[in-house]
Amino acid sequence: MRPLKLTLRAFGPFVGEEVVDFTLYGDNAFLLINGPTGAGKTTLLDGICYALYGEASGAGRSEHYLRSQRAAKEVICQVDFLFSVGPRTYSLKRRPAQTILHKEKVRELNHQVEFCEVAADGEIIGERLSKINEVRERIESLLGFSSDQFRQVVVLPQGEFRRLLLAKSDEKERILEKLFNTGRYKFVEEALKKRRSLLGADLNRLKAEVEGIFTACQVTNAIELDERMSAVATRRTERALALETLTLRQQLCHEQLRGAQADAENFQEHDQSQLVFARLDQQKEVMARKATEVEAATRSLLLVDLESAVQRGEGEVTELRRRIAELSSAQLLLVDEVAAARQRVSACREEQGQITARVAEATQLQQVLTRLRELEGYRQELEKGLAAAAAAQQQYETLQEVRRREEEGIEALTARIEELTVSSGRLGEIDGEIGRVTQLLKVRREFDAESLRLQQLNSELATATAAVKVAEDAAAVARLEMESLQQKFIAGQAAHLAAQLIDGEPCLVCGASSHPQPARSTGVIPTEKELEGAAQRSTAAVAKVAAATAQQAELSGRQQGSTASRERLADALQGAGHDSLEKLQQRLLDLEQERALCTRAGKELEQFRQERLARNARRQEYLQQEPALIQALQAGTASVERLRGLVANSETATAGMQAAEVAARIAASEAFVVRVSREGQQAEAQLAELFAAQEKNRGEGELSEAQLQSRGTALVVLQAEFTDRLAIAGFADLAACRAARLDPVVLSRRQEELERFRQDLTAATLRLERAAALCAGRVRPDLAALQQGKEAIDAEVGALQQELGTLSGEATALAVAREKIGAKGDEIARLEEDYAVVGRLADLAGGQNPQRMTLQRYVLAALFEEVAIAASRRLSKMSRGRYHLLRAEIPRDGKSTGGLDLDVIDDYCGERRPAFTLSGGESFLASLALALGLSDVVLAQSGGRYLDCIFIDEGFGTLDGETLDFALNTLIELHQAGRVIGIISHVAELKERIPCRIEIVSQKEGSRIVQSDGVGNTTTFAH
């Protein structure tokens, strides 16, 4: 991973937006990140780690504290990070959970992230990820590190630099597994375990299946199964021969029964046919009578149509005669109605002569009515004009009163505005003082909190220093105890060897034949177990010293940082004098109250100014309305006088007449004209209708007379024909014909019944003749005896067949079981052979070997051996040949798996000891060497991760000048190999040695970033 551009917005001490452009330094960047304490140097590492993983570089810093406390409330905290992995470029934008002010409302923003691949022109390639877990998984897959592993290998934060060096083997294994992509070896381990488990399960399953087959066959082994198969085969052969003999007897019995059943059926058919024939023979007489009735009904039905025609002719003649009589009566009534209609027409013509006079009278009355309505309108307009004149007079007087009140209110408002202007003038002065006191109060709180934290750190540091002293004393005692026991053990071994010396014979150790001063026993000889216990106690004591020293160093660093922070806060409090937190709070409260009063005065001032403007506007409006009101008042007076004259003229012209009376007379005349016209038209129309009705009635009468004559002649002919047809059909008269007639449905049923009887009689005769022929010369058989014999032999054959079927099924099942057992036995043998090989491989790969190392741990141990060698070369150079790193092959406690622990060899004394026993500066060099060695080996391994950047936070201050030169030379060599190296440090000498710098400038309004490319060019991001 190579950083390209980092953008921080409202992040940590950076109030605005700051950009670090790593591309300014070219491909081989060697950077010094410099600035005062608290300015934000570590914040750059926080930004990188947070952009990638959503966590700061220091695991103890929560994302809720990443947002700048000095940033404007509406500004959103966000980190943008552009980086490359190999030839590809990726963009990350991450925003922590935070509270902002948006449109004067407080909003809670959730953690948001956006990740994508980008092209050289900035265009997005592929999908855009926005889910937190998806982005984390993608980053871990892309970089090969989790957040913790990234802080141990790539970004080495202050206080966590030594974690990789001191990490236990299990933790190193998780880091190295991703770095060297050795997951395939663990996959082999798991695959072998899974394969062994599957083979074992298959073996157990097959053996259980074999036992199940033996149990199902009611045997315990294959020999018993073969014996049972032979016995079943013999029994099945015997029963098959017996079934063959019995089957022949069964066939003969069945044939006899079938012949007897056929004879019995023939005799039964003969009996039934006799019964059917006898029953039909008894119905012959009844059927003959029914046949006669059907014949007569058929002849009667042939005359139905002619009878209906005669009846229709008689009905039509009767109807025509009735119609002629009705028309004659109607003609007499029409003559009387025509005479009455002629009288009504004469009366209407006399009244129509008065219409002209009545119309002239109505016209004169309409003119009078018009003058009366105009008079009423003039009177109404006069009343309205009087009311409008009175209203205008009242409005004019009201306007004068309102204008006077507005002018008095304007004078009072002007006086109040002058008073409030003086009060609101101090608001700016008070706001400035409030800002100053608020900042002092914030600094005072931070100062008090930092003072309390410094007291706690001083106390913890004193305790840690005492703990270091106690641990060192305990380690010295444990070392002396171990050395004493070792001397006693060596002396005891020498005494034991001396006791075996014989004068004249050579010593097994030195080869001398004379033994002038053999060693003597000095007391009890310690056992190897006691020596091992003392060594373990000494190692544990040394580990406690290292842990206590590390804690002391951590507390010391925190105490120094707290002291610097307190001093910075003390400088910021210089303007507050010796005011306590309570005094500043009270001062701020007083200022806030005073500001509230001024603010309220300002609001009231603005309100009064607005009200004065409104009153002035209304006064001007009243002044503008006054001329119009005066003009309206004068116009109303003139209109009233004109209307009074019109009313007087109209009253004279109408001479006291009333409009209602005139309207009634007009309505009466108009009604008379309408009535006379309507009644005359109705009388003329009625007379014409009566003339038309007389003519129509006369025509219908003549037509009916002609139809009556024609229909009467036709009826006589039909009646004569019907009489002749009755005689021909054999009926004496119409009554006899109707008596013989049947309903068509009943007649149809009678005919069908007769036809069925004839068919049934014919069939019964033929059936009786066939049955008699079949029974001729035969004797009725005894079916019961024959059926009993058949059932007995059938039961015997069925029992024998069932027994034979059972034997066949058992033989088949035993044969199948024998075949399955043979096949499963072969498969069991093959699986047992595979299980032995796979099980042994799984044990070896899983750690059941003399080294107690898994396959992956073994591979990683070999790779870590190369890392230790590469790191040792770096450490030897930086320590001027004193220290070398070696991989510890034996686990620390002798029980757990090892292979990834580190020892250090001190060439000054030849001692080999655990790496965690190094001092602070030595530990820094070893950690740096390990990180660089790891980078070298990972780069050399195909398929591994390319570690092309490293950031180191502090630690160089623990080195002396010469050691610092060696460390820097090592980093320069790495930088020249194409790596990005970033160092955070206060060491002044580094400024001279590293020209490319990222300078963090601390300011009151927030920190700024200034970049220098080492050739005199500086870059500052423009806000």
Of 1017, 1019, 1000, give the one whose Cα is nearest residue 1009: 1000
Q: How far apart are CA 832 and CA 838, in angstroms?
A: 10
DSSP string for residues in 353-406: GGHHHHHHHHHHHHHHHHHHHHHHHHHHHHHHHHHHHHHHHHHHHHHHHHHHHH
pLDDT band at 716 (very low <50, low <70, confident <90, very high): confident
Burial 119-136 (b: 16+ CB within 10 A, else e): eeeeeeeeeebeeeeebb
| pLDDT at residue 7, rounded to an integer | 94
How does residue 943 score in pLDDT terms, banded at 50, 70 and 90?
very low
The dihedrals phi and psi of 97, each to the nearest 5 degrees, come to -65, 135
In DSSP terms, which residues pair with 78 in a beta bridge? 9
The pLDDT assigned to 28 comes to 61
Query: How far is it, in rounded angstroms, from Cα 671 to Cα 677?
Result: 10
The two tokens of residue 504 are 């004249």
pLDDT recorded at residue 942: 43
Q: What is the pLDDT of residue 869?
A: 84
Evaluate whether 778 touches 267 at the Cβ level (below 8 Å).
yes
Instruction: For residue 681, give the amino acid letter.
Output: Q
pLDDT at 497: 59
pLDDT band at 577 (very low <50, low <70, confident <90, very high): low
Closest residue by Cα to residue 670 from 363, 953, 298: 363
Taking Cα atoms as reference points, which of 954, 1021, 1009, 1016 lies closest to residue 983? 954
DSSP-assigned beta bridge partners for residue 950: 981
Assign 944 a pLDDT band (cuts: 50, 70, 90).
Answer: very low
Q: Is residue 277 scored above 50 in pLDDT?
A: yes
What pLDDT, on a 0 to 100 scale, did the predictor assign at position 52?
A: 92
Nearby residues of 400 by Cβ (< 8 Å), 6 or more positions away: none
Between helix 783-845 and helix 222-281 the angle, nearest 10°, is 150
Contact 362, 645 (CB under 8 A): no
CA distance 981 to 971: 7
Distance CA 400, CA 759 (A): 131
Q: Is the dihedral of CA 834, 836, 841, 847 positive or negative?
A: positive
Q: Where are the alpha helices (DSSP H) in 74-182?
A: 132-143, 147-153, 163-166, 169-179
Buried b / exposed e over 17-56, threshold 16 CB at 10 Å, is bbbbbbebbeeebbbbbbbeebbbbbbbbbbbbbbbbbbb
pLDDT at 95: 93
Q: 905 and 911 in contact (C-beta within 8 Å)?
A: yes
Handedness of CA 149, 152, 155, 160 (dihedral sign): positive
What long-range pairs does 690-695 form, CB within 8 A, spacing at least 24?
690/334, 690/337, 690/338, 690/341, 691/338, 693/334, 694/331, 694/334, 694/335, 694/338
Six-digit token string for 302? 């042939």
Structural contact between residues 83 and 2, judged by C-beta atoms closer than 8 angstroms: yes
Read off the pLDDT of each residue in 354-362 and give the average, rounded to a whole number. Answer: 73
For tokens 């790539």, name the residue.
154
In angstroms, rounded to a whole number, what is the distance separating the alpha carbons of residues 159 and 555?
10
Q: Looking at residue 994, what is its pLDDT? A: 80
- Tens digits of per-residue pLDDT, 227-270? 888 888 888 888 888 888 888 888 888 888 888 788 788 888 88
Which residues lie closer than 8 Å to 858 by C-beta, 6 or more apart? 851, 899
Query: What average pLDDT score do residues 801-805 get?
Result: 84
Contact assessment for residue 42 and residue 57, using Cβ atoms and an 8 Å cutoff: yes
pLDDT in tens, 836-865: 888 887 877 777 776 677 777 777 777 777
At 785, list the tokens: 């005896």
Higher pLDDT, 463 or 431: 463
Residue 554 · residue 516 · CB < 8 Å: no
Q: Which two tokens stand for residue 367?
A: 């003119």
The H or E element containing residue 852 is: none
Instruction: Return the top range by mean pLDDT from 124-133, 160-169, 191-200, 739-748.
Output: 124-133
pLDDT given for residue 63 in this prediction: 67
Nearest-angstrom CA–CA distance, 13 and 41: 10
The pLDDT of residue 930 is 78
For the record, the structure tokens of 458 come out as 């001083």
The tokens describing 747, both together, are: 């007649």
Span 1004-1009, average pLDDT:
84
Q: Which residues contact 700 (CB under 8 A, 6 or more apart)?
A: 323, 327
Calculate the CA dihedral of residues 134, 140, 146, 149 and round it to 10 degrees.
Answer: -160
Q: Which residues contact 390 (CB under 8 A, 6 or more apart)?
A: none
- Report which listed range, 242-256, 726-740, 925-939, is most confident: 242-256
Distance in angstroms (rounded) separating the CA atoms of residues 820 and 766: 71
Question: Which of these, 809, 824, 826, 828, lies nearest to 217 by C-alpha position?
Answer: 809
Neighbours of 361 (CB within 10 A): 14
State which H helix or E strand residue 126 sits in.
strand 124-129
Count other Cβ atoms within 10 Å, centred on residue 371: 17
pLDDT higher than 80, residue 799: yes
Give CA separation, 963 vs 612, 881, 924, 950, 969, in Å: 83, 11, 11, 20, 10
Residue 180 three-state SS: coil
Which of 273-277, 711-715, 880-884 reaches the highest mean pLDDT? Answer: 273-277
pLDDT bucket at 290, cuts 50 / 70 / 90: confident
d(CA 249, CA 804): 18
Residue 137, φ and ψ in degrees, nearest 5: -65, -40
The rounded mean pLDDT for the chain is: 78
The larger pLDDT score, comparing residue 775 to residue 602, is at 775
CA 640, 644, 645, 647 torsion-angle sign: positive
Which candidate, 148, 167, 175, places its Cα nearest to that of 938? 175
Position 129 scores a pLDDT of 93
Given a cut of 70, whether residue 160 has pLDDT beyond it is no
Please choose, from the candidates 149, 157, 198, the residue with its C-alpha nearest in 3D space to the C-alpha of residue 177. 149
Q: What is the pLDDT of residue 576?
A: 56
Neighbours of 699 (CB within 10 A): 10
The answer to which of 374-388, 649-663, 786-800, 935-949 has the lowest mean pLDDT is: 935-949
The lowest-confidence range among 57-71, 331-345, 555-569, 942-956 is: 942-956
**Does position 162 have pLDDT exceeding 50, yes or no?**
yes
Query: What's the whole-number mean pLDDT along residues 656-663?
Result: 70
For the beta sheet containing 997-1001, the strands, ordered from the edge strand earlier in sequence to the opposite edge, are 155-156, 949-953, 980-984, 30-34, 997-1001, 1008-1012, 1018-1020
Alpha carbons 21 and 23: distance in angstroms, whole number? 5
Count of residues making up the chain: 1023
The mean pLDDT value for 602-631 works out to 75
Band of the pLDDT at 128, cuts 50, 70, 90?
very high
- Position 433 scores a pLDDT of 76
The closest alpha carbon to 78, from 51, 116, 106, belongs to: 51
**Based on C-alpha coordinates, what's the Rg of the chain?**
66
- Tens-digit pLDDT profile for residues 779-790: 778 878 878 888
Residue 104 has pLDDT above 60, yes or no: yes
In this prediction, residue 118 carries a pLDDT of 94
Distance (Å, whole) CA 761 – CA 287: 12
pLDDT at 134: 93
Region of poorest pLDDT, from 423-437, 509-523, 783-797: 509-523
Does pLDDT of 941 surpass 70? no
Chain centre to alpha carbon of residue 636? 79
Token pair in block for residue 54: 């959503």
The least confident of 553-562, 825-834, 977-986 is 977-986
Based on DSSP, count helices (H) and strands (E) in the chain, helices before strands: 21, 18
Instruction: Give the whole-angstrom CA distance, residue 999 versus residue 39.
Output: 10
**Residue 930 identity:** L
- Whether the pLDDT of residue 2 is over 80: the answer is yes
